[in-house]
Structure 1
Amino acid sequence: MLLTTAPHWKGSIWPSIKILYCSMLCPTVSETDCYVTLWLPTASSEKVRTKTVRNCKDPVWNEMFYFRIQSQVKNVLELAVCDEDVIRDDDYCIILFDIAKVPLGETIFMKFELNPHLRCKPYIHLYSTSGPDIRLGFDLCPEEKEFLQKRKKVVAAALKRVLQLEEDLQDDEVPVVAIMTTGGGMRALTALYAHLLIMQKLDVLDCVSYFSGLSGTTWTMSNLYNDPNWSHKDLEVPLLDAKKHMNKNKFFASFAPERLKYYVKELRQRSQEGHIISFTDLWGLIIEAMLHDGEVHQKLTDQKQALNHGQNPLPVYLCLNVKEKVNSRGFREWLEFTPYEVGFQKYGAYIRAEHFGSEFFMGHLMKKIPESRISFLEDEYFHYMQAYKLPTRMQSPPDSLANVFQDIITWRPAVSVVPNFLKGCPMHNKYLESEFSNWKDCDLDSFPNQLTGAEDFLYLIDNAFALQSSYPPLMRPERNVDLIIHLNYSTGSQLEVRRLRHTSEYFSEQGIPFPKNVPSKEEEKELKECYLIGEQEGAEIPLVLLFPLVASSFREYKAPGKSTYAFILRFVFISVVFSPYDINTLRYSEEDFEKLVKLSQYNIENNKDMIINALRIAVERKRQTEKS
């Protein structure tokens, strides 16, 4: 038998026990039908057992069992080798073993004598594993650190060109720049393509190390990262492709008979793989039909190819984990996704991206389920109705595909349900060991037994139910972001400025550095195209370059310095309910598409000097910090 004492999780020990084999020294009257029972009273009130090996005098099991115990109490394991019998099972031997005898990190092999009258011996191997399948800690994963080293060289060269520096930047002088996007449906998808294209032309895109998104912008991001070198290719091509899909009839593209058959086939296959299917899975397939010509085979981990040489910014996706029957104020936790890891920054607990959706217990991978295609992950990043209605959850058994299609008719926003990879992991008060994990913004944070480790499933919703931005992963102190380019696509730019004030107040309450001097209520009445925030605050405060999606001087100029009235034609405010860019609009006319693209490009190009100035300030701050 193998007994594993894994590393601590905040006061707990995870012994894993592998039953190997039993060797008989002399034959018995008949062949045995042996099995082994295990009982660890301090971990569970129930006994567990191996399978029965029939008609064998030297049975071999090789079965693994996992427990969770507390180091503060005495933990005695009871082992029983039994012979299964029709009338009554015979116990060959009962062994009591103190788990404390197995030092952490060491391997021990032990042999136990059975009943001497039966003259048999089982062999027990006690060992220590390399640890759980969950990465514990608040530091960045090794892959992300390696990426940043490679990306730093690309960023340094780009900054030298953009800022026209005479000398190369040293590694410690290179600021970490991030693009932060908000949600906004098809409006966000379209405007983000336009913003990235103009930033590429201005050579700013290579200055960016992180790229965070939620809701509609994740569609753009996941499509771009299909190409490992997307930021170094002409972004006019994906923009024109998006135009084609924005102009097409999405109802026929999504609900043609062959597409419905495809949905049923895909959902049935997903169910057979072990995933929990719901409306959001169907919605992911519908989005796939709306925005692509065929099936999208890409997975999140495939995006690593776009990061191997530091050639593109690191994408970070975001959603919110909630509880059933508890509002988001009572309980909410940010779950971040990168091509490397998925995890909770709150607890410092991360799993490999390919393991998301698999079943875990006490930090160990119990059942590997195939990694989801990106189309199914997009439904977790984005729920189209967003925060305009209260969320409800509809979970269907594998054979109830009709119920999933029924949700289309009733149009109920749904929550993605996935196995909880923190299941069985104790959440004591010590989970607040890191300064960042002091991010206590939920009522249930005061009750560790009500936190995520006690749940069987994660209930994931759009981040729009909280901050309506993808700031949280960028605020991890380990990422040390110096400048955030905030691209706003949410409904109502005036409302977005208010949200920014709310975000500033929120981070201030959590003790997380963020600019406090944000645009005032008076400035909402006449918004500018760009704001540089945090310039007059301390060097530890990240700079924020805010781009509200507003038609300000664009009404008078078709390009910086070129006056025209051609683009005034029925271009309405983004915030107007009956705007062609309403959040619920899935199809744009060619004219409306072009206007939104030109507005987005104009606002960036018309403020390129402010972008360059922000980059220059970020570099100077890094230099001053290193000198001090």
Structure 2
Amino acid sequence: MSASKPQESGKVRIEPSLNKNEAEFIDGRRKSVLESLKKLQIDCSKDEVPNIALLGSGGGERAMVALLGSLVQLQKTGLLDCILYLSGVSGSTWCMASVYQEPDWSTKLETVKDKIIKRLKDGPKISWKEAFAKLKKYYYEKDHFSLTDIWAVMVITSFVKEIDEHTLTEQWSQHSKDGKVPFPIYTVIDKKCKHHNIGDPWFEITPHEAGYSLTGAFVDASNFGSKFHKGSKKNQQDEFDMLYLQDAWTSIIKCMNQWTWGRNHNFLHNVKGEAVPSTLQETETRDYEDAGLLLNSPYFSVLRKERTIDLIISLDFSEGDPFLTVKEAAKTCKELNIPFPEVNIPQGHSEVPMDFYVFTGQNTPTVIHIPLFNMVNCGGKLKSYNVLNETEISTVFRFKCVHVSSDKIEAWRKKYTTFQGPYNAEMITDLVEVAGKNIINNKDSLLEEIRAAVRQKGSRR
């Protein structure tokens, strides 16, 4: 079966393996990664090519624009072509949805960036007539109309300045032949599983499948939202468009968390089998919401055992504690017996972080964590910390940098909050630049960690 088309199936798939189309694409992408590594003068065999995942956290328009700026610099440094998976939460998915509109976007990213930024800066607002027509379409064509539909049309469009009616499978058909772009994974969570701490809350949507990441229960992406019974499709609903999905992936005001959001048919209703938690089989519908309400970074999509990730590059655009996502990921992985490195943050770094952290462990993926606003790109000068031990880091940090950088970092944080109106042109330009600095300033460190991942993979053969 060609990877250019989604797997046509009206059945639920419950098995611990990759979708065959994803596996086929990844095999081709790894060949492209190998060529890219050679261009970067990293010698390795086909079997030593590391599986690298790039994560974009949530954060509304801040995350959308910052991920865009980061991708541009990754492309300019040649590092983007080393990425196997690109996974996002909330605002990062807005960026992903935009760049994946363009065929082979990684080969012309500067042009794609300019087009997106022009739309954000100068694009006309969606008119009330267009908004009403879209809401009417959602109301009459969808089996379940919820606040997600209203929020998508009335709020998300004010940020992204478009009504994107492409479907995910349509969008992907432009990219799936030659492996020139990373494989995208969009994430949400199951509301009931999250609130009651039962079952599997981690839900992913890829160009081929949608389903529960850790349980291993999936349905074709084109059938997500259709009605199923005992594992077989009963009624077909049109595939969700990207506007609706961008809202399903996106943060909502928590005071509204008790309302009905993201309600859809439960494709696991009355499915039998020990592999599926009983709580996922009981109800005819499930409610899906922004993954950022549980963990504001999509770690558990790439930590699926069958994706065998060697190196995770986490771009953290969160508000508040810049290490919360990686600390929570480590804590949850420990509870679930998922391999993940220990995460120890030096004292004081939560208030004034550096721009590059590496966490390693025995038989775990290596995790690189890059906070958006930090002492380097927000005005600090320290770049020799990579050769300092922890005591020396703390000393330099405390006496030379904290007083200068803390005010500047806080100014950037206050300028770009999650729940504020769409950014103006100057804010977008500045944010693209400051996010890009995190890549430019750490190109050598990123290359060294990729080399280390190659060596580690070679030593396990």
TM-score by length of structure 1 reads 0.65
User: Alignment partner of 1:312: what SS?
Assistant: coil
State the partner residue of 1:416. 262
Q: Which residue does the alignment assign to 2:242?
A: 374
2:435 to 575, 600, 611: 600
Structure-2 residue corresponding to 1:18: none
Match of 1:195 in 2: 70
Offset of 1:607 from its aligned partner? 1.0
Indicate yes or no: 2:355 matched with 1:529: yes
- 2:334 matched to which residue of 1? 508
Kept in 2, the 8 Å contact 1:215–1:384? The answer is no
Q: CA deviation at 1:572?
A: 5.0
Give unmatched runs, 5+ long, in structure 2: 1-8, 385-404
| Superposition deviation, residue 379 in structure 1 | 1.3
SS in 2 for 1:297: coil
Residue aligned with 2:138, SS: helix
Give distance in 2, aligned partners of 1:218 and 1:307: 19
Residue in structure 2 matching 1:151, options 29, 42, 63: 29
Distance in 1, matches of 2:122 and 2:408, equals 21
1:571-586 to structure 2, matched below 5 A, reads 573=410, 576=413, 579-586=414-421
The one of 111, 117, 130 equivalent to 1:243 is 117
Letter in 1 for 2:275: Y
Distance 2:440 2:107 in 1: 19
The answer to whether the Cα contact below 8 Å between 1:246 and 1:586 also exists between their aligned partners in 2 is no
- Alignment of 1:622 onto 2:457: yes
* 1:312 correspondence with 2:181: yes
Q: Is the 8 A contact 2:377 2:434 kept in 1?
A: yes
> In structure 2, how many angstroms separate the alpha carbons of the residues matched to 1:280 and 1:501?
30
Instruction: Choose the corresponding residue for 1:545, options 348, 353, 368.
Output: 368
Higher helix proportion: 2
Answering whether residue 167 of structure 2 is matched by residue 321 of structure 1, we say no
Q: Distance in 2 between matches of 1:611 and 1:346?
A: 29
2:167 is the counterpart of 1:299: yes
Paired position in structure 1 for 2:296: 468
Call closer, same or farther: CA 1:231–1:515 in 2, change over 3 Å: same
Instruction: Give per-residue Cα distances to partners, 1:77-99, cap 9 Å, x unaligned.
Output: xxxxxxxxxxxxxxxxxxxxxxx
- Deviation string for 1:441-477 (max 9, x for gaps)? xxxx6xx3xx111111110011112111100010011
Return closer, same or farther for 1:390/1:289 CA change in 2, 3 Å cut-off. closer
State whether structure 2 residue 77 is matched by structure 1 residue 211: no
Which whole-Å CA distance do the structure 1 matches of 2:185 and 2:98 have between them?
14
Structure 1 residue aligned with 2:125? 253
The alpha-carbon distance between structure 1 residues 423 and 496, as it changes in their structure 2 partners (threshold 3 A), is same
Give distance in 2, aligned partners of 1:293 and 1:547.
29
The one-letter code sitting in structure 2 at the alignment partner of 1:217 is S
Select which of 275, 298, 315 maps to 2:143.
Answer: 275
Q: Secondary structure of the equivalent of 1:554? A: coil
Contact 1:343-1:351 at 8 Å conserved across structures: yes
431, 438, 450: which one aligns with 2:275: 431
TM-score by length of 2: 0.87
Equivalent residues of 2:322, 2:353 under 8 A apart: no
The Cα shift of 1:214 comes to: 1.0
Query: Match for 1:573: what amino acid?
Result: E
* Alpha-carbon displacement from aligned partner over 1:185-221 (angstroms, at most 9, x marks no partner): 0100111110000000000000001000010010100
Q: Is the 8 A contact 1:549 1:574 kept in 2?
A: no
1:318–1:136 Cα change, 3 Å: same
Q: Which amino acid aligns with 1:491?
A: E
Q: For residues 245-272 of structure 1, what are the alpha-carbon distances to aligned partners after superposition, in whole Å with 9 as ceiling and x for unaligned?
A: 44459xx814xxxx32323322333333
Is the 1:222–1:374 contact (alpha carbons within 8 Å) kept by the matching residues of 2? Answer: yes
Aligned residue type for 2:117: K
| Distance in 1 (alpha carbons) for counterparts of 2:441 and 2:184 | 26
**Larger % of strand: which?**
1
- Give the structure 2 partner of residue 392 of structure 1: 258
With over 3 angstroms needed to count, the CA separation of the structure-2 counterparts of 1:275 and 1:389, relative to structure 1, is: same
Whether the 8 Å CA contact 1:500–1:518 is kept in 2: the answer is no
Q: Larger radius of gyration, structure 1 or 2?
A: 1
Other structure's SS at 2:258 match: coil
Instruction: Calculate the aligned-residue CA RMSD, in Å.
Output: 2.7
Task: Give the secondary-structure state (helix, strand or coil) at the position aligned to 1:389.
Answer: helix
Change (3 A) 1:574 1:213: farther
Counterpart of 1:504 in 2: which secondary structure? helix
Higher relative contact order (CA 8 A, sep 6+): 2
Q: Residue type of the partner of 1:614?
A: E
Shift of 1:597: 1.8
Partner of 2:6 in structure 1?
Answer: none
Alignment of 1:159-174 (within 5 A): 159-162=37-40, 164-165=41-42, 169-174=44-49
The AA in structure 2 aligned to 1:611 is L
- Residue 275 of structure 1 and its aligned partner are, at CA, apart by 2.8
Judge conservation of contact 2:10–2:232 (CA < 8 Å) in 1.
yes
2 CA distance for matches of 1:574 and 1:336?
35
Q: Deviations over 1:157-190 (max 9, x none)?
A: 111112x14x5x3221111001011100010011
Per-residue CA deviation, residues 390-444 of structure 1 (Å, 9 max, x unaligned), is 61224xxxxxxxxxxxxxxxxxxxx1111111111135xx327xxxxxxxxxxxx
1:587 aligns with 422
Alignment of structure 1 residues 8-407 onto 2, 5 Å: 133-162=11-40, 164-165=41-42, 169-233=44-108, 235-247=109-121, 253-254=125-126, 259-286=127-154, 289-291=157-159, 294-302=162-170, 303-323=172-192, 327-329=195-197, 333-385=201-253, 388-389=254-255, 391-394=257-260
1:75-120 residue CA offsets vs partner (Å, 9 max, x unmatched): xxxxxxxxxxxxxxxxxxxxxxxxxxxxxxxxxxxxxxxxxxxxxx
In structure 1, stretches of 5+ residues that fail to align are 1-130, 395-414, 433-444, 562-567
Q: Distance in 2 between matches of 1:381 and 1:528?
A: 29
Contact 2:12 2:232 in 1 (8 A): yes
Name the structure 2 match of 1:610: 445
Contact residue 204 and residue 301 of structure 2 kept, 8 A? yes
> Does the 8 Å CA contact 1:190/1:242 hold for their aligned counterparts?
no
Task: Tell me if the contact between 2:200 and 2:214 (Cα under 8 Å) persists in the aligned partners.
Answer: no
- What SS is found at the alignment partner of 1:459? strand
Aligned partners of 2:146, 2:380: CA distance in 1, in Å?
A: 48
Alpha-carbon distance in structure 1 between the residues aligned to 2:351 and 2:139: 51
Distance, in Å, in 1 between the alignment partners of 2:48 and 2:75 is 22
Closer/same/farther in 2, CA of residues 542 and 351 from structure 1, 3 Å limit: same
Give me the whole-angstrom Cα distance separating, in 2, the residues matched to 1:340 and 1:574.
42
Q: How far apart, CA to CA, are the structure 2 residues paired with 1:132 and 1:266?
A: 28
**How far does residue 227 in structure 1 lie from its aligned partner after superposition?**
1.1
Identity of aligned residues (%): 28
Number of residue equivalences? 433
Whole-angstrom distance in 2 between the partners of 1:232 and 1:606:
22
Q: Secondary structure at the match of 1:461?
A: strand
Greater Cα offset, 133-142 or 271-280: 271-280
Q: Which amino acid aligns with 1:357?
A: G
- CA displacement at 1:552 relative to structure 2: 1.3
Corresponding residue SS for 2:350: helix
Name 2:5's counterpart in structure 1: none
Asked if structure 1 preserves the Cα contact closer than 8 Å seen for 2:199 and 2:280, the reply is: no
Residue 454 of structure 2 aligns to a residue in which SS? helix
